[in-house]
Amino acid sequence: MTGGGALLRLHLRRDRWMLLWWVAGIAVFYWSQAWGTEASYPTQGELDEAAAAMQGNAAFIAMAGPARALDTIGGQTAWQAGAFGMILTGLMAMFLIGRHTRAEEESGRDELIRASAIGRRTPLLAAGLVAVLACVAAGAVVAATLSTMLPWKGSVALGVGAAGAGLFFGALTLVAAQITSSTRAVYGAVGIALGGSYVLRAIGDVAGNGLSWASPLGWGQAMRAFSGERWWPAVLLVGSAAVLGVVAFALLGRRDIGSGLRAARPGPSSASRSLGAGGWGLAWRLQRPGVLGWLGALALVGLAMGTIGDDVEGLVGDEGLARDLLVAGGSGAFTDQLYGTVALMVGLGAAGPAIAAALHARAEEDAGRAELVLSTALPRGRWALGHLAIAMAAGVAGALIGGFGMGLGYLLVTGDASQIPRFTGAVGIYALPVLVLLGVTWTLYGLGRRWAPLGWAALGFCVFAMIVGRTLQLPGWLLDVSPYQHIPLLPAEPFAWTPVVVLAAIAAVLLGTGAAALRRRDLG
């Protein structure tokens, strides 16, 4: 393990801001749930009512986790924040490990490091240590901030759960980084594991059949923060993380540096017709895995949401209260309102593939590959349009597929196919705010490639404003900045043309501005 200290310091030096934002963001997420609950239910009576309304609700349980001690602020916090908080620490650990292992190998920087006086296992160890430090820091800060307003024991249990989930998924990333030879594939594999863990615990929590024990997120929730804490499930998280770590080190000994466990196979020695001659084929070939992955994920999320079915009203004790809690606004039948809210969430997700695909153009520019392509007869405008068209199509398709998935899920549970077009339309209409966000991203990219990732920040703001904005009682004008605010909550609210036309016009102006700016600026 020679040179580990120096390497660890290098990593920490490179990651300091990233670590700070991750840890602070995770802590704020947990803390805001506690704060929001306290603000929403100032008296114990109100909290008891809410708890009674939520306890038996399968949809809530599927989304958040097993209902325990919901009549306490702590119980509510653990319930609302637990699963998502663990996913956040898992993502943090995944990105940290991926960044310092496979991404470094792919870029060739790892070779430079390994050529110095450094042990064969040191880079793996140093990457692992960064993730361990980050997870422990996140857990500690979560526990410390929560314990200012909640009992310390439960706060610590939540912190330990968050840290443990981070360790588990970090260690899983370490293993994946040994097996596959591309960073993208590492993130894809761990992302699927994260999503799978969430689904397993959702099914297990609703059905009560023990399936939650197959999910690391379930282990974290089995610690029962704020309702008679149990500490031994933490051992499952940390222990399995340790086992995965050992597996990763063992795999490292069996492979060549720079490649995965599988040797790279040769491919075609000439280009197929499908790669085309106009730049579109190439753009699609490059974007295909990412776009299809996003669309698949949106379809699955939609499907899962659709299976809530129409029994919600029976499950919810007090409809008025649940309405307050769950629904983003509007009036009408409760089921419709609930689905309106779900459609909004899927619609927010549909911006993901659009922004990611737009930023692919930037990645091509950063890597210098845009330069190579633009030295051919492909005009700059068409090169950009190739990526933009894929981004637009991905966003629209994401909304439609998410809605279709919802309808399909509903069909599976109720046997009623009539909701498929309704849900497809209800989510599909969010293609408009998605295109507005894409327009914002494209304009930023046109102004300069370093601004482009702020497109994610724009989406982050919309998610924040639409999901917690009302609870936090943000001012109306601030909510109005989010294009999602102006879309009627179908199917609960009636369809309206005005926002559709206005948002379409705004999107067109932004996309046009971005395209024009991109044509004028220096590239490469």
Partner 1 sequence: MTDTSPAVQIDGLVKTFGSVRALDGLDLHVARGEVHGFLGPNGAGKSTTLRVLLGLLRADTGTVRLLDGDPWKDAARLHRRLAYVPGDVSLWPNLTGGEIIDQLGRLRGGLDAGRRAEAIERLELDPAKKARTYSKGNRQKVALVAAFASPVELLLLDEPTSGLDPLMEAHFGDLVEEFRAGGGAVLLSSHILAEVERLCDRVSIVRGGRTVESGTLAELRHLTRTSIHAELDRVPDDLRGLPGVNDLDIEGHRVRLQADSDRIGAVVEVLGRGGIRTLTSTPPTLEELFLRHYGDDPEVAR
Binding site for partner 1 (CB under 8 A): 106, 181-182, 259, 264, 266-272, 275-279, 281-282, 285-286, 367-369, 371-380, 382, 520-524
Neighbours of 499 (CB within 10 A): 17
Closer of 254 and 522 to partner 1 (Cβ):
522
CB 490 within 8 A of CB 419: no
Least distance between partner 1 and beta carbon 389 (Å): 17
Closer of 13 and 265 to partner 1 (Cβ):
265
Closer of 16 and 109 to partner 1 (Cβ):
109
Least distance between partner 1 and beta carbon 427 (Å): 32
The closest of 48, 509, 98 to 321, measured between CA atoms, is 48
Least distance between partner 1 and beta carbon 454 (Å): 20
CB 164 within 8 A of CB 241: yes
Which residue type occupies 508?
Answer: A
Hey, is 475 helix, strand or coil? coil
Closer of 258 and 494 to partner 1 (Cβ):
258
**Residues ≥6 apart with Cβ < 8 Å to 121:** 1, 249, 252
Closer of 386 and 483 to partner 1 (Cβ):
386
| Integer angstrom CA distances of residue 47 from 41, 81, 227, 458 | 5, 17, 16, 34
Which residue type occupies 210?
Answer: G
Closer of 137 and 370 to partner 1 (Cβ):
370
Closer of 104 and 336 to partner 1 (Cβ):
104
Distance between CA atoms of 142 and 59, rounded to whole angstroms? 27
Hey, is 491 helix, strand or coil? coil
Backbone φ and ψ for 504, nearest 5 degrees, come out as -60, -40
CA dihedral 109, 110, 114, 117 (to 10 degrees): 60
